[in-house]
């Protein structure tokens, strides 16, 4: 019985195809039972996946593992590999990633429609890893222009050939067809003529590769275009990285502006503090100074605040200003609703803000404060009202309220002063995550809430 493992041919197809040519190539050897074919197939690989280096790298790694397994299982005397289009990328980088001590040697490597760069270096793999490389090119291969001009770290060696010393161990061959001309006739119908004439002899023996070149000498203009095309990689990388560079510059500028604004604001606060101690700061400006100082030292973490008011739109302007300091507001219309939210979210809310009078809430006024104390909800409460007397303020504080205010600056100052210091400064990733998420997910809605 013939040992079919003595000669193995591995084939790898390209993107946007299921590699029907692989089976057709095997059928050309139906009378050669000593040759075993193994076809590496990876399904329909989209152009989008081809563009990103990570997805290509993952598939290269998978092919390398599969190749190792086949060789270790059969230990063939002869190993040949045939690849087309993106398959040539998988083959080249899989072979280059093999360890020096791995006993895997390719007798003949046939590449067709290769997406590799023309300057891909083969000499260090010949003859230690590869006996000979045959690179078949289609000089009308327009598909490879996409690879050359758009896809990073790829090229069009399947159109223009590899740069290198051509000879028995390395040869570029050129035909006048496009990307799939190796498997089709001039009318675009499936044909095995090219494979039969140019690949079967190479896979059947060690006979020299037949050399042919259908190119014609370019005129001056075409020569310039060819030179630009062949050396387009730096331009391509610049174009592809330019958006990232611009984005980095914009973000860096915003960061610098924010830092400068923060320093200037701190300088103003320091100057005002000096005026305060020299009694040259007007009394009316002291609350504003305190608010600025509190804001400068407040943390960057999102902070949850519960605002109780039977008419929430009354407070939208204040909330909009306070949200700039990283404050997030949950809203309740009644005392009972507020208590349910607090009970469902222990330790979540840093402050409770409330109006005093609510027409349809029998527990308005000090009722919310009493309910919180009865349920041992230890969260500072600030009353935000239209007007008050000093006696009312003193009474509210005596009952356990943090403060009673009627001015936005006072309210902001009181809230920021209550906020606990950060346990640690958030990382850049945490800041970005908070910015993306906003206030969502900071608290849970109590069961039964609308």
Greatest pairwise CA separation for the chain in angstroms: 108
Q: Which two tokens stand for residue 151?
A: 């896809």
| pLDDT score at 195 | 96
Region 147-164: what's the mean pLDDT? 85
Q: Which two tokens stand for residue 269?
A: 């606060």
Whole-angstrom Cα distance, residue 194 to residue 410?
85
| pLDDT score at 441 | 80
Compute the mean pLDDT over every residue in the chain, rounded to the nearest whole number.
Answer: 84
Whole-angstrom Cα distance, residue 222 to residue 325?
61
From start to end of 162-231, where are the E strands?
Answer: 170-175
DSSP 260-292: HHHHHHHHHHHHHHHHHHTT-S-GGGHHHHHHH
- In the chain, DSSP finds a helix count (H) and a strand count (E) of 17, 11
Other C-beta atoms closer than 10 Å to the C-beta of 311 total 10
Sign, Cα dihedral of 147, 149, 154, 159: positive
294-305: pLDDT as tens digits: 555 555 567 899
pLDDT for 2 beyond 50: no
pLDDT for 288 beyond 70: no
C-alpha torsion angle, residues 101, 72, 14, 216 (rounded to 10): 60
Residue 394 makes CB contacts below 8 A (sequence gap 6+) with none
* Burial (Cβ within 10 Å: 0-12, 13-18, ≥19) of residue 331: middle
Is residue 139 a contact partner of residue 104, using CB atoms and an 8 Å limit?
no
Region 277-285: what's the mean pLDDT? 62
Helix ranges (H only) for 37-151 are 47-51, 53-74, 86-96, 143-149
- Counting residues of the chain whose pLDDT is more than 90, the rounded percentage is 51
Residue 144 makes CB contacts below 8 A (sequence gap 6+) with 113, 114, 115, 155, 156, 158, 159, 179
| pLDDT score at 411 | 86
177-190: pLDDT as tens digits: 999 999 999 898 99
| pLDDT score at 238 | 72
| pLDDT score at 437 | 73
| pLDDT score at 149 | 77
224-274: pLDDT as tens digits: 656 666 666 666 667 667 777 788 777 766 776 666 666 656 665 665 566
pLDDT band at residue 39, thresholds of 50, 70 and 90?
very high
pLDDT for 350 beyond 60: yes
359-385: pLDDT as tens digits: 889 999 999 999 999 999 999 999 999
Is residue 169 a contact partner of residue 131, using CB atoms and an 8 Å limit?
yes
Name the nearest CA neighbour of 352 among 327, 321, 387. Answer: 327
Name the nearest CA neighbour of 206 among 81, 105, 107, 75. Answer: 107
Whole-angstrom Cα distance, residue 304 to residue 439?
8
pLDDT for 422 beyond 60: no
Residue whose entry in the numeric block shows the structure tokens 């997406």 = 115
In the DSSP assignment, the letter for residue 386 is: S
| pLDDT score at 424 | 54
């Amino acid at each position: 019985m013939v040992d079919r493992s003595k000669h193995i041919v591995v084939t790898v197809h390209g993107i946007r195809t299921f590699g029907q040519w692989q089976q057709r190539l095997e059928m050309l050897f139906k009378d050669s039972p000593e040759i075993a074919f193994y076809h590496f197939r990876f399904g329909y690989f989209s152009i989008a996946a081809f563009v990103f280096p990570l997805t290509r790298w993952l598939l290269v790694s998978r092919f390398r593992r599969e190749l190792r397994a086949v060789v270790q299982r059969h230990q063939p005397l002869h190993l040949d590999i045939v690849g087309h289009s993106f398959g040539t990328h998988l083959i080249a980088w899989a072979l280059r990633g093999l360890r020096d001590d791995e006993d895997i040697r390719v007798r003949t490597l046939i590449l067709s429609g290769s997406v590799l760069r023309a300057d891909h270096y083969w000499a260090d793999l010949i003859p230690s890893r590869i006996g000979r490389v045959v690179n078949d090119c289609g000089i009308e291969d327009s598909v490879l222009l996409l690879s050359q001009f758009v896809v990073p770290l790829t090229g069009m060696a399947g159109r223009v050939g590899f740069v290198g010393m051509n000879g028995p161990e390395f040869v570029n061959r050129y035909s006048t067809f496009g990307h799939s001309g190796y498997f089709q006739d001039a009318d675009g119908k499936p044909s095995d003529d090219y494979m039969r004439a140019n690949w079967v002899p190479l896979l059947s023996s060690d006979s020299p590769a037949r050399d042919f070149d259908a190119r014609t000498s370019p005129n001056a203009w075409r020569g310039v275009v060819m030179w630009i095309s062949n050396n387009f990689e730096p331009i391509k990388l610049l174009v592809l990285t330019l958006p990232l560079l611009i984005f980095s510059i914009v973000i860096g500028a915003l960061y610098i502006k924010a830092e400068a604004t923060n320093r200037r604001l701190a300088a103003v606060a320091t100057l005002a503090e000096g005026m305060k101690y020299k009694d040259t700061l007007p009394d009316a400006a002291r609350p504003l100074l305190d608010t600025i100082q509190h804001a400068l030292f407040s943390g960057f973490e999102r902070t949850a605040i519960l605002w109780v008011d039977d008419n929430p739109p009354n407070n939208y302007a204040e909330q909009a200003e306070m949200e700039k300091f990283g404050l997030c507001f949950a809203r309740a219309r009644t005392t009972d609703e507020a208590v349910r939210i607090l009970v469902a979210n222990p330790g979540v809310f840093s402050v409770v803000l409330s109006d005093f009078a609510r027409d349809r809430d029998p527990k308005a006024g000090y009722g919310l404060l009493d309910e919180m104390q009865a349920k041992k909800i230890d969260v500072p409460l600030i009353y935000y009202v239209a007007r008050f007397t000093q006696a009312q303020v003193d009474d509210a504080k005596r009952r356990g309220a943090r403060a009673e205010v009627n001015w936005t600056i006072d309210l902001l100052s009181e809230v920021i002063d209550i906020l606990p210091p950060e346990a640690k400064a958030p990382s850049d990733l945490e800041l970005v995550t908070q910015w993306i998420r906003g206030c969502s997910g900071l608290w849970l809605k109590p069961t039964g809430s609308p």
